[in-house]
Amino acid sequence: MSRPGVRLVTWRALRARQRELAALGGWSLVESLPALLSGYLVARAVDEGFLAGRPVNGLAWLGVLAVAVLLGAAATGRTYRSLGAVVEPFRDEVAAQVVRGALRDATRAGGRPDSAAVTRLTHQMEIVRDTFAGLLMVTRGFLFSAGAALLGLLALAPVVAALAAAPLVAGLVVFVAALPAMVTHQRAYVRAGERLGQYAAAALAGHRDVLACGAQTRVTTDVARWVSAQAAAERMLARMAAIRSLSLGIGGWLPLLVLMVTAPWLVERGLTAGAVLGALIYVSTGLQPALHTLVQGLGGGGLRYAVTLENILRTYPMSDDKRPSAPAARSPHCRPPTGPAGRSPAVEVRGLTFGYGPRARPILQNFSLTLADRDHLAVVGPSGAGKSTLAALLAGLVPPQAGTVHLAGATVAEVEPAELARMRVLVPQEAYVFTGSLADNLRYLRPGADDHTLEVALDTLGARPLATRLGGLGASVAPAVLSAGERQLIAAVRAWLAPAPLVVLDEATCHLDPALEATVEVAFARRPGSLVVIAHRISSALRAGRVLVLDGDEPVVGTHEELLIRSATYRVLVGCWDDSVPPHVVSARQG
């Protein structure tokens, strides 16, 4: 399914409301009557009235101008009514898409609520509506006002129109040439603000873990870094105002200077004093304000519209047929549906039994589990419950004593090692990083990845600061000088790049701070395929679609809310690691 961009979505919205746009254009034409007639009527009032000694005629011409001004003022109110008929339905369409996308992501297998959806639906949605309306107003204002002024100048004298139009076009060229850079800096500003909000929210949500780990200084430093990044992006955006001022100076003020300098020459060629005055009025009240409104509107609101809508569409793309996608139902059971046309599930465990030794108590006994594509499962339990053993069994690193593990319908025990490596990737707690360049480490499981793909992966998993500190993709990596968390982060990026449809994270983020751990897990959850997280913190379980509790007895699978009711072990884990225990659960535990 194609994903329309900002231009296509905007064009589609305008094309769907041609009648409303026609009404807006008609009232705008009436509104532009003063801009069309002002210079001409003033010229007639001066030449045929006051300078000719007939003040009554001059006042009559000015009376016609007053009538045109009243008609234009009356039309202004109608233009806003027509504008609302175009803007409000478009706002509703985009808002509905945000709601559908947020519900789809939250209710699909392995999905999770998107906290940023509220921001997109409120703050960013209002930005889109207001800037879309402003964009329409400034565009139609420039077309009608500047067009009317140029027509008036042509009626006075074609040479005057040429003298005014040349710098106007030059100013527009300067502005249009700078637009790509303005869009880039506006995009950087919006994304910096979004990243700051996400990181700050994650830091606040994990404040207990931060205090427990003694990571206050590091988390505060990281938040301060994102604050500085947003401030730098905003300063760079402010510098773009100089480009707008330059284009306004060329296209708005230079025509006035040209007309004043060439006035004696124009008079010598037969242009009357009234015509010169009328030309100055056309430029000062028509061309100059129209250009100023266009530049300020496109350079401010227009950029915010394009970047904000682009951000919304990137997260919740609008399909070409605009039919809402039905949210996928999240199954609370251990065996969700296998998918359309009986397609094999991503992971299927049947009657699995495993123990360390023939007489040892089995860690897993007659255990079964099914994971659908894009399922996100967190595995929790006390130490020694078998979490890492389950990860090794899923990855095919150890054979079960009984039962089978199937990946995409193939039995793991029967798959060749090379093929198995393409089907799943396991990231252990002790991450492996070898001596070599950062790029070589990241390409280990995907040798054909280009630099752009690696850069995207670094940004997605929050590893950009680490890559920058090391010196970029070509920098040499020495495992001995990296911290455990830095090694884990490199291994996580490497696994995220791997083509394997199943990723198993066996406490692979335990040395990361909670905010960065959340960034990594969210990136993997949005990656195509299935995700199994052996949880180090209970927050990993809260982010998962389903949770598997291992405690030496019968394993229990369900959502966070279900397990608070069904599993005593899970209640204990939540009570130890988190404050968000429902009152009835606390009462049950105390009783």
In angstroms, the CA 18 to CA 244 distance is: 32
* Alpha-helix residue ranges (DSSP H) falling in 108-157: 116-119, 125-156
Average pLDDT over residues 337-364: 68
Residues 410, 415, 421: CA angle, nearest 5 degrees:
105
| 259-273, 347-361, 499-513: the lowest-pLDDT one | 347-361
How many separate helices (H) and strands (E) can be counted in the chain? 25, 12
CB of 119 within 8 A of CB of 316?
A: no
pLDDT at position 172 over 90:
no
Residues 431, 434, 439: CA angle, nearest 5 degrees:
100
| 206-220, 316-330, 417-431, 500-514: the lowest-pLDDT one | 316-330
User: Partners of 437 in the beta sheet?
Assistant: 476
Domains in the chain: boundaries: 6-315, 347-577
- Residue found under tokens 């870094």: 225
Q: Is 402 helix (H, G, I), strand (E, B) or coil?
A: strand
For residue 579, name the pLDDT band (cuts at 50, 70, 90).
very low
For residue 487, name the pLDDT band (cuts at 50, 70, 90).
very high
Who wins on pLDDT, 187 or 246?
246
Q: Specify the DSSP class assigned to residue 347.
A: E
pLDDT at position 573 over 70:
yes
Report the pLDDT value the prediction gives residue 38, as an integer from 0 to 100: 79
Q: Is 353 helix (H, G, I), strand (E, B) or coil?
A: strand
Total-model pTM: 0.43
What 3 state SS string does 223-273 have?
HHHHHHHHHHHHHHHHHCHHHHHHHHHHHHHHHHHHHHHHHHHHHHCCCCH
Report the pLDDT value the prediction gives residue 581, as an integer from 0 to 100: 46
Distance of CA 527 to the CA centre of its chain: 16
CB of 383 within 8 A of CB of 394?
A: no
For residue 317, name the pLDDT band (cuts at 50, 70, 90).
low
Report the pLDDT value the prediction gives residue 123, as an integer from 0 to 100: 67
Largest CA distance in the chain: 122
Q: Specify the DSSP class assigned to residue 121.
A: I
Report the pLDDT value the prediction gives residue 540, as an integer from 0 to 100: 85
pLDDT at position 480 over 90:
no
What percent of the chain clears pLDDT 70, i.e. is strictly above it? 86
Average pLDDT over residues 162-176: 83
Average pLDDT over residues 173-183: 81
- Which residues, at least 6 apart from 349, have a Cβ–Cβ distance to it below 8 Å? 367, 368, 369, 370, 393, 394, 403, 404, 405, 406
Pick the CATH number of 347-577 from 2.40.50.140, 3.20.20.100, 3.40.50.300, 3.40.640.10: 3.40.50.300
| 35-39, 244-248, 586-590: the lowest-pLDDT one | 586-590
Report the pLDDT value the prediction gives residue 453, as an integer from 0 to 100: 92
Average pLDDT over residues 561-589: 64
In angstroms, the CA 276 to CA 153 distance is: 10
CA 526 → CA 114, 468, 519, 530, distances in Å? 11, 25, 11, 9
pLDDT at position 219 over 60:
yes
**HSE-up (13 A, CA, CB side) for residue 449:** 26
pLDDT at position 489 over 90:
yes
Rg (CA), the chain: 33
164: exposed, middle or buried (C-beta count within 10 Å: 0-12, 13-18, 19+)?
Answer: buried
436: exposed, middle or buried (C-beta count within 10 Å: 0-12, 13-18, 19+)?
Answer: middle
What 3 state SS string does 310-343 have?
HHHHHHCCCCCCCCCCCCCCCCCCCCCCCCHHHC
| 20-29, 33-42, 65-74: the lowest-pLDDT one | 33-42
Average pLDDT over residues 224-232: 84
In angstroms, the CA 133 to CA 280 distance is: 31
What percent of the chain clears pLDDT 90, i.e. is strictly above it? 9
Q: Specify the DSSP class assigned to residue 397.
A: S
Positive or negative, the Cα torsion across 69, 71, 73, 76?
Answer: negative
Average pLDDT over residues 121-128: 71
- Level-2 CATH architecture, domain 6-315: Up-down Bundle (1.20)
Report the pLDDT value the prediction gives residue 460, as an integer from 0 to 100: 92
Tens digits of per-residue pLDDT, 360-412?
Answer: 678 788 888 888 888 899 898 887 778 888 888 888 888 888 888 888 888 88
Question: For residue 468, what are its two tokens?
Answer: 């920058």
Report the pLDDT value the prediction gives residue 439, as an integer from 0 to 100: 92
pLDDT at position 494 over 90:
yes
CB of 21 within 8 A of CB of 14?
A: yes
For residue 88, name the pLDDT band (cuts at 50, 70, 90).
confident
Do domains 6-315 and 347-577 share one topology? The answer is: no
Q: Count the neighbouring beta carbons within 10 Å of the beta carbon of residue 420.
A: 18
Average pLDDT over residues 26-52: 79
Average pLDDT over residues 226-235: 83
Who wins on pLDDT, 95 or 518?
518
Tens digits of per-residue pLDDT, 431-472?
Answer: 888 888 999 999 999 988 999 999 999 999 999 999 999 999
* Alpha-helix residue ranges (DSSP H) falling in 108-124: 116-119
